């Protein structure tokens, strides 16, 4: 993806992807750290769609990898209505600040109390911002495209920075991360890969349960208008081949080296599926080689940006209007008083 070519810059979606790097460089870390004393021992990370998938699951993986002291879990806001969340810290992330499920959860918890409620929104003055006990207003600015991009990254960084600080870990090198994101967005995608993705009736994303592949599954629907599915971990080698068809495509996000042979045997040889990899290392399959980093907790951001790049190239090859899905909405389920 080229940030100087009208082919890309004519779309708000592409411009907002490129704006992500500047958002990272200029992130108001001080404002985020003002909330570090609001965090209790048990924390729920809630939200809907893109506001929960990558931000919450990325933090859960980082917490497990680095032995964070808090008990963290994530759940959609409507299912969370069924839980006893008293004396918990509950974050509700919502780009619009007026997602119905989030507003409903906040109002229920305020009525039950005591709960420490944090809102993460893009617009001040919205119900989730106003009714939470504390709130963070995203610095990235309004998104015009339906598919959320820069807001997803900022929500994830808010959690990342807050819980690194709470657990005595060094904060991420934001300038370095911004450079990596720009590099991932600019990676060339071969015609072979674009043709395989364009021809496939469904795009499967396989990878860790850290929100990256799952979020890219959602972005596939919004950007390419194709059906998609998320194959968690090694699920792709455990039975789904029964319903796969030759010519379908699976994108492996930083695949486990121990499982490459099995994926090849089961999916490529056994079904005739096209296997494509996003990885810091070359793989036996057509590979988009992404930049490496010494901080493993930064890699998911780079993977996500590279996945955006891949989807934009596919969407453009299919003559899709990247900014205007036919049915998808910016606010999936909006609160109205």
| Residues 219-265: tens digit of each pLDDT | 999 999 999 999 999 898 888 999 999 999 999 999 999 999 999 99
Are 148 and 212 contained in the same domain?
Answer: no
Domain boundary residue, one of 147, 172, 197:
172
What pLDDT is recorded for position 113?
A: 83
**Is 104 a member of any domain?**
yes
Give the pLDDT band of residue 54 (cuts 50, 70, 90).
Answer: very high
| Residue-range definition of the domain harbouring residue 53 | 6-172
**Co-location of 132 and 166 in the same domain:** yes
Rounded to an integer, the average pLDDT of 299-313 is: 98
In a domain, 240, yes or no: yes
Check whether residue 70 and residue 219 sit in a common domain: no
Percent of the chain with pLDDT over 70: 96
Which tokens is 119 given? 């809102």
Q: How many domains does the chain have?
A: 2
* pLDDT tier for residue 331 given thresholds of 50, 70 and 90: low
Under the banding of pLDDT at 50, 70 and 90, the label for residue 178 is very high
Question: CA–CA separation, 311 vs 147, rounded Å?
Answer: 12
Same structural domain, 168 and 201: no
What distance in Å separates the CA atoms of residue 104 and residue 188, rounded to the nearest whole number?
44
Same domain, 54 and 97: yes
Q: In sequence order, what are the beta bridge partners of 204?
A: 229, 250
Residue 137's CATH number: 3.40.50.10490
Pair 86, 193 in one domain: no
Q: What is the mean pLDDT of residues 177-187?
A: 98
Give the residue from 118, 178, 151, 149 showing the smallest Cα distance to 322.
Answer: 149
In a domain, 298, yes or no: no
Q: In sequence order, what are the residues at sequence separation of 6 or more whose Cβ sits closer than 8 angstroms to the Cβ of residue 305?
A: 17, 20, 180, 181, 184, 185
Residue 31 sits in the same domain as residue 159 = yes
Does residue 322 sit within a domain?
A: no
Q: Which residue has the tokens 């992807």?
A: 17
Instruction: Specify the 3-state DSSP secondary structure of 223.
Output: helix
Residue 250 lies in a domain: yes
What is residue 114's predicted lDDT score, i.e. its pLDDT?
Answer: 82
pLDDT over 60 (residue 116) = yes
Are residue 108 and residue 213 in the same domain, yes or no?
Answer: no
106 has a pLDDT exceeding 80 = yes
Entry field: residues in the chain: 337
Query: What pLDDT does residue 330 have?
Result: 55
Does any domain span residue 312?
A: no
229 and 126 in a common domain: no
Give yes or no for a contact between 128 and 100, defined as CB atoms under 8 angstroms apart. Answer: no
328 has pLDDT over 80? no
Query: Helix, strand, coil % (nearest 5) of the chain?
Result: 45, 15, 40
Average pLDDT over residues 8-15: 96
Tokens describing residue 271: 């079904």
The last residue of one of the domains, among 105, 139, 172, is: 172
What is the average pLDDT across 154-173?
A: 98
> Where do we find the tokens 């998104």?
143
Is residue 21 a contact partner of residue 178, using CB atoms and an 8 Å limit? yes
The pLDDT score that the predictor gives to residue 325 is 75
Same structural domain, 22 and 91? yes
Classify residue 325: in a domain, yes or no: no
* DSSP conformation class of 266: I
Task: List, for residues 90-99, the tens digit of each pLDDT value.
Answer: 999 999 999 9
In a domain, 257, yes or no: yes
* Distance in angstroms (rounded) separating the CA atoms of residues 106 and 143: 24
Same domain, 17 and 54: yes
With a CB cutoff of 8 Å and minimum separation 6, the contacts of 265 are none
Contact 326, 91 (CB under 8 A): no
By mean pLDDT, which of 112-116, 162-166, 278-282 is the weakest?
Answer: 112-116
Residue 283 shares a structural domain with residue 159: no
Q: Which residues have CB under 8 Å from 197's CB, separation 6+?
A: 203, 224, 249, 251, 276, 310, 314, 317
């Amino acid at each position: 993806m080229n940030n100087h070519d009208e082919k890309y810059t004519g779309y708000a979606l592409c411009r907002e992807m490129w704006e992500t790097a500047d958002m990272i460089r200029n992130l108001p870390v001080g404002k985020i750290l003002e909330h570090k004393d609001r965090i209790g021992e048990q924390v729920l990370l809630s939200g809907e769609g893109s506001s929960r998938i990558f931000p919450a699951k990325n933090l859960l993986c980082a917490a497990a990898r680095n032995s964070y002291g808090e008990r963290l879990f994530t759940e959609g806001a409507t299912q969370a209505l069924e839980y006893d969340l008293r004396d918990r810290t509950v974050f509700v992330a919502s780009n619009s600040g007026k997602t119905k499920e989030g507003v409903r959860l906040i109002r229920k918890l305020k009525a039950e109390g005591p709960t420490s409620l944090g809102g993460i929104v893009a617009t001040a003055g919205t119900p989730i911002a106003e009714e939470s006990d504390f709130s963070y207003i995203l610095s990235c600015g309004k998104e015009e495209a339906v598919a959320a991009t820069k807001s997803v990254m900022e929500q994830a960084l808010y959690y990342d920075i807050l819980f690194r600080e709470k657990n005595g870990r060094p904060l991420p090198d934001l300038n370095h991360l911004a450079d990596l994101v720009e590099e991932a967005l600019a990676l060339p995608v071969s015609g072979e890969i674009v043709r395989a993705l364009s021809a496939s009736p469904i795009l499967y994303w396989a990878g860790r349960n850290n929100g990256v592949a799952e979020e890219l599954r959602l972005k596939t629907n919004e950007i390419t208008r194709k059906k998609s599915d998320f194959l968690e971990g090694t699920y792709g080698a455990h039975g789904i081949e029964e319903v796969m068809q030759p010519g379908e495509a699976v994108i492996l996000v930083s695949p486990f080296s121990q499982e490459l042979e099995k994926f090849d045997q089961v999916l490529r040889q056994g079904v005739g599926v096209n296997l494509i990899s996003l990885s810091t290392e070359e793989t036996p399959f057509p590979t988009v080689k992404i930049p490496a980093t010494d901080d493993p907790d930064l890699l998911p951001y780079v993977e996500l940006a590279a996945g955006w790049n891949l989807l934009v190239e596919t969407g453009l090859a299919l003559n899709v209007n990247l900014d205007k899905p036919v049915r998808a909405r910016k606010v999936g389920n909006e609160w109205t008083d």
